[in-house]
């Protein structure tokens, strides 16, 4: 079998007839992946309401999902992802592959979400998950489309699947499933994957697979290697990947051709889906006003504080990051703390307060740095304190002393991690928000550092802080000398 695809979006190439009695049929696939938010973003892209309308306009089609639905989002922290399954049911999802974030709340919660799903979840390289299938055949446009799912084996460490669930080699599973689907009469074989880009390319090189519809990576991406079309639709349903297949039979094997496009998701909402989104948004608005914790001390998130010195709120956030990840150290930029206000002792912190302080939707990555690299990151962090630059570090797990009057790049005087001096040759795990993790605010040393927790497997920073507050009930964050300006 051979798949031909144009390198330009939406151009369909038709195969030459292979026999006098050839029969030609068309089938359409619609795909999104890695959806966490239910409403359009600040750019007006995404949202289940507009997505539902675009899907309805393109029916009949097979609607597929590339994994990561149950978490993370603020609303998911309240519903444990039940609202996401409800909305996926509403837009007519036909099949989904399991993603690593499906296990963020543990296997019992995912089992509940499986029971609520009107569509099958596929994951051929897993064992121990009742209700998850390896493969199935669906018919659309008179074409028998075989679907199978594979998920990254790193899910075992990226999330919380539980001791009874195991993940095997996705490539071996993909090869086995493609052959099984052919034997069962599939005319087109589609791999639904939640893998890295490198792994998806490897899946695409296997025999018998026509289309790979992926997830895990958060950028829209398309690839054609001469035989197989590989598509990822980005994240948060900002784009709908559309694949139009032409299947011609009559020869020894079907000839499959395909065209594709990435359709920006925006505009009017499907009325029914939009009403469900509005109801969930109303539920979230009410939940945001609920108190998380009582303050046992004053709290100051003013710009001049978080960008110029150790701040109690910075300690609160960094401590939550380190505790949630088990990292040696946590580092976040003061410019990412945006409330610019004070809170009085005896008051309460709500979910809305946390979102006001951390509005950017950042997640918590964990990078591996040598002591020398960590020193460079901290040196950069204090390099423009006199300008009130957002790079100023708020930290946990370490103490630093610096001279703000010294030249930039030569300001650090002492750094200790735990109880020991920073060792330039040692390796430390460092929890960071993904903005500075990709080099934001000039933290270039973090951009290429190896990850033990990547953005794709990470939790929302706001959720990490909310969970820490809710668990404590009462908090009295204070400064403790972890950042000292020596003059």
Residue extents of the structural domains in the chain = 23-285, 290-485
Residues of the chain with pLDDT > 90: what percent?
79
Q: In what order do the strands lie in the sheet with 483-485?
A: 420-421, 412-417, 398-402, 483-485
Strand ranges (E), 55-210: 62-65, 95-97, 121-122, 126-127, 135-140, 143-151, 166-167, 188-194
Least Cα distance to 295 among 233, 360, 361, 344 occurs for 344
Least Cα distance to 456 among 222, 163, 235, 127 occurs for 235
* Collapsed DSSP state (helix, strand, coil) of residue 211: strand
Question: What pTM was computed for the model?
Answer: 0.76
* Collapsed DSSP state (helix, strand, coil) of residue 342: strand
pLDDT at 21: 58
Least Cα distance to 322 among 260, 271, 364 occurs for 364
- 151, 129 in Cβ contact below 8 A? no
Residue 11 has pLDDT above 80, yes or no: no
Indicate left, alpha or beta for 250 from its phi (over 0: left) and psi (-120 to 50: alpha). Answer: left
pLDDT at 318: 98
Mean pLDDT of 351-370: 91
Q: ∠ CA(382), CA(388), CA(394), 5° rounding? A: 50
The values of phi and psi at residue 250, to 5°, are 130, -20
pLDDT in tens, 152-203: 998 887 788 988 999 999 999 999 999 999 999 999 999 999 999 999 999 9
Residue 475 has pLDDT above 90, yes or no: yes
Least Cα distance to 198 among 214, 179, 211 occurs for 214
Instruction: Give the list of residues 6+ apart from residue 297 with CB closer than 8 angstroms, or none.
Output: 312, 345, 475, 476, 477, 478
pLDDT at 251: 72
The CATH code for residues 23-285 is: 3.60.21.10
Residue 417 has pLDDT above 60, yes or no: yes
The CATH code for residues 290-485 is: 3.90.780.10
DSSP letters for 262-319: EEEP-SSPPHHHHHHHHHHHHHHHHHHTSEEEEESS-EE--HHHHTTS--HHHHHHHH
pLDDT at 13: 36
Residue 464 has pLDDT above 60, yes or no: yes
Sign of CA dihedral 195, 435, 77, 330: positive
The alpha carbon torsion through 59, 224, 37, 429 (nearest 10 deg) reads: 160
Residue 401 has pLDDT above 50, yes or no: yes
Mean pLDDT of 15-28: 67
Q: What are the angstrom distances between the C-alpha of 9 and each of 40, 65, 284?
A: 24, 20, 38
* Collapsed DSSP state (helix, strand, coil) of residue 465: helix
pLDDT in tens, 36-76: 999 998 899 999 999 999 999 999 999 999 999 998 888 88
């Amino acid at each position: 079998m051979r798949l031909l695809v144009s390198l330009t979006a939406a151009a369909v190439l038709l195969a030459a007839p292979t026999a006098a009695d050839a029969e030609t049929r068309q089938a359409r696939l619609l795909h999104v992946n890695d959806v966490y938010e239910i409403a359009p973003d600040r750019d007006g892209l995404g949202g289940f309401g507009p997505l539902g309308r675009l899907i309805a306009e393109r029916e009949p089609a097979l609607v597929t999902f590339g994994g990561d639905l149950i978490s993370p989002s603020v609303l998911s922290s309240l519903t444990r992802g039940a609202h996401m399954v409800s909305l996926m049911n509403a837009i007519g999802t036909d099949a989904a592959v399991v993603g690593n974030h499906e296990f963020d709340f543990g296997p019992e919660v995912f089992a509940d979400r499986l029971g609520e799903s009107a569509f099958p979840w596929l994951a051929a390289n897993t064992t121990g998950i009742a209700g998850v299938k390896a493969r199935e055949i669906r018919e659309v446009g008179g074409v028998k489309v075989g679907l199978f799912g594979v998920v990254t084996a790193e899910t075992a460490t990226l999330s919380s699947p539980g001791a009874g669930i195991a993940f095997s080699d996705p490539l071996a599973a993909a090869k086995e499933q493609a052959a099984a689907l052919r034997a069962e009469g599939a005319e087109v074989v589609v791999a639904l994957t939640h893998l890295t880009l490198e792994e998806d390319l490897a899946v695409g090189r296997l025999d018998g697979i026509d289309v790979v519809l992926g997830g895990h990576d958060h950028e829209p991406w398309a690839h054609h290697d001469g035989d197989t079309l590989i598509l990822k639709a980005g994240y948060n349903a900002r784009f709908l990947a559309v694949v139009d297949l032409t299947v011609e039979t009559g020869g020894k094997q079907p000839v499959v051709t395909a065209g594709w496009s990435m359709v920006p998701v925006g505009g009017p909402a499907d009325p029914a889906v939009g009403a469900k989104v509005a109801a969930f948004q109303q539920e979230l608005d009410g939940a945001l006003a609920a108190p998380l914790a009582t303050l046992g001390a004053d709290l100051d998130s003013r710009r001049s504080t978080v960008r110029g010195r150790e701040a109690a709120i910075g300690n609160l956030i960094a401590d939550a990051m380190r505790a949630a990840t088990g990292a040696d150290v946590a580092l976040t930029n003061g410019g990412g703390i945006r409330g610019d206000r004070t809170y009085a002792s005896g008051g309460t912190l709500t979910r809305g307060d946390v979102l006001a302080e951390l509005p950017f939707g950042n997640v918590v990555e964990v990078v591996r740095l040598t002591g020398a690299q960590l020193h460079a990151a901290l040196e950069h962090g204090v390099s423009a304190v006199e300008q009130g630059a957002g790079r100023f570090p708020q930290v946990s797990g370490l103490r630093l002393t610096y001279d703000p009057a010294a030249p930039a790049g030569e300001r650090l005087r002492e750094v200790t991690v735990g109880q020991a001096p920073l060792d330039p040759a040692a390796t430390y795990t460092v929890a960071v928000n993904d903005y500075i993790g990709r080099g934001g605010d000039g933290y270039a040393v973090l951009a290429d550092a190896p990850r033990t927790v990547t953005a794709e497997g990470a939790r929302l920073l706001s959720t990490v802080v909310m969970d820490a507050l809710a668990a404590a009930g009462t908090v009295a964050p204070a400064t403790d000398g972890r950042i000292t300006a020596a003059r």
